[in-house]
Amino acid sequence: MVNFRVVISDPQKGNAYQVEVSEAHTDKLVGKRIGSTIDGELLELPGYELQITGGTDKNGFPMREDLSGGQRRKVLTFGGTGHHPTEGGQRRRKAVCGREISINISQINVVITKYGPKPVEVFLGSEKES
């Protein structure tokens, strides 16, 4: 099936950890949206709650929270995810993905919202990214 790479951000310590999701748990992530909360058990973090903040598809196009669905589309943007204007009022047509996780998504970004009884380093310490 699909393999997801999940980047877990720890706002208390300022660290990020990268985890590969096993194939048994990928179907539980498909259909979730940006802003929804998932249980840490999916990522082998018992007692933790995580919030989806974004991601990218297999070709590197970012997900946008204000675009429904999970497919890639070209939209006229004037700021936000996928577009950084250099002048005021500048608009541009950009290819971005919708807010739902589909089988085309390869990376999912999450942030820890509720901490468990043990520190994150106990579970993910060796896979630390700075």
Cβ–Cβ under 8 Å, residues 20 and 42: no
HEC assignment per residue over 22-52: CHHHHHHHCCCECCCEEEHHHHCCCCCEEEE
Q: For the whole model, what pTM was predicted?
A: 0.86
Cβ–Cβ under 8 Å, residues 109 and 7: yes
User: What's the pLDDT score for residue 124?
Assistant: 81
User: What's the pLDDT score for residue 24?
Assistant: 80
User: What's the pLDDT score for residue 34?
Assistant: 95
Query: Any bridge partners for residue 94, and if so which?
Result: 75
User: What's the pLDDT score for residue 1?
Assistant: 57
Q: What is the three-class DSSP state of 109?
A: strand
User: What's the pLDDT score for residue 81?
Assistant: 83
Cβ–Cβ under 8 Å, residues 73 and 95: yes
pLDDT tens series, the chain, 130 aa: 578 899 999 999 899 999 998 788 888 899 999 999 999 988 889 999 999 999 999 999 999 998 888 899 999 988 888 888 888 889 999 999 999 999 999 999 999 999 999 988 888 875 444 4
